[in-house]
């Protein structure tokens, strides 16, 4: 069931749903993919620590690579617009990170735009800042989701709109927001809005 406006926007989007890898894109010019939240697919570890996002990102990358390798895509740009709320915002950032290693055929045609509503990785600031030792010396962090997506400077992101609520949640909620480093040429807007986390995004 749809529980936030994000789900409603996906349902209203006029495009062919190719979330199922068995669905062929065919001649459709507008496609969409959508996934349940990580709290649904991975239970408590997903709700708290954003577990379960990687397979969803892998599915999107696989679909994009398939589109980029098709003869029709060779003549067209692939415009990918990613909308993510909360841990879904982290999924959008993880997708951008994975696309750093995309094929040349895909990167040459890709325009990646991110719309993020309060991306929260499910880590305490102290843990990400002081306990992720590999990230501290410039290697990919292994202890925190945050460390894995803090540096997107080599990703193919072309534009970002990130919206953060002005009311913080308690520290115990593991909802410290993330402000990554994006490519220097990317158009980035980071702004604040009224409310707290997804409170302003429930269906009306």
Please name every residue paired with 77 in a beta bridge, in sequence order, or none if there are none.
none
For residue 42, the tally of other CB atoms under 10 A from its CB is: 19
pTM, rounded to two decimals: 0.87
What is the maximal distance between C-alpha atoms in the chain? 51
Backbone angles phi, psi at 193, to 5 degrees: -135, 165
β-strand 78-85 against 187-193: which pairing, if any? unpaired
β-strand 110-117 against 187-193: which pairing, if any? unpaired
Q: Are 186 and 127 in contact (CB under 8 A)?
A: no
For 37-53, how does the pLDDT look when each residue is reduced to its tens digit (9 = 90+)? 888 887 877 776 677 89
| Separation CA 48–CA 119 (nearest Å) | 13
For 126-179, how does the pLDDT look when each residue is reduced to its tens digit (9 = 90+)? 666 666 655 555 555 556 787 888 889 999 999 999 999 888 776 666 677 888
């Amino acid at each position: 069931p749809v529980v936030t406006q994000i789900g409603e926007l996906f349902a209203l989007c006029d495009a062919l749903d190719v979330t199922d890898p068995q669905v062929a894109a065919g001649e459709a010019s507008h496609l969409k993919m959508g996934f349940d939240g990580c709290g649904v697919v991975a239970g408590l570890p997903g709700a708290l620590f954003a577990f379960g996002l990687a397979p969803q990102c892998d599915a999107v990358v696989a679909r994009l690579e398939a589109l980029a390798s098709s003869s029709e895509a060779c003549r067209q740009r692939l415009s990918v617009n990613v909308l993510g709320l909360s841990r879904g915002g982290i999924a959008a950032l993880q997708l951008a990170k994975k696309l750093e290693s995309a094929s040349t055929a895909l990167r040459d045609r890709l325009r990646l735009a991110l719309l993020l509503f309060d991306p929260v990785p499910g880590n305490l600031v102290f843990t990400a800042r002081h306990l992720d030792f590999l990230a501290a010396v410039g290697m990919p962090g292994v202890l925190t989701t945050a460390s894995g997506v803090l540096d997107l400077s080599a990703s193919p992101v072309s534009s970002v709109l990130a919206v953060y609520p002005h009311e913080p949640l308690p520290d115990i909620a593991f909802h410290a927001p993330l402000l990554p480093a994006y490519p220097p040429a990317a158009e980035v807007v980071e702004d604040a809005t009224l409310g707290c986390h997804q409170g302003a995004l429930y269906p009306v």
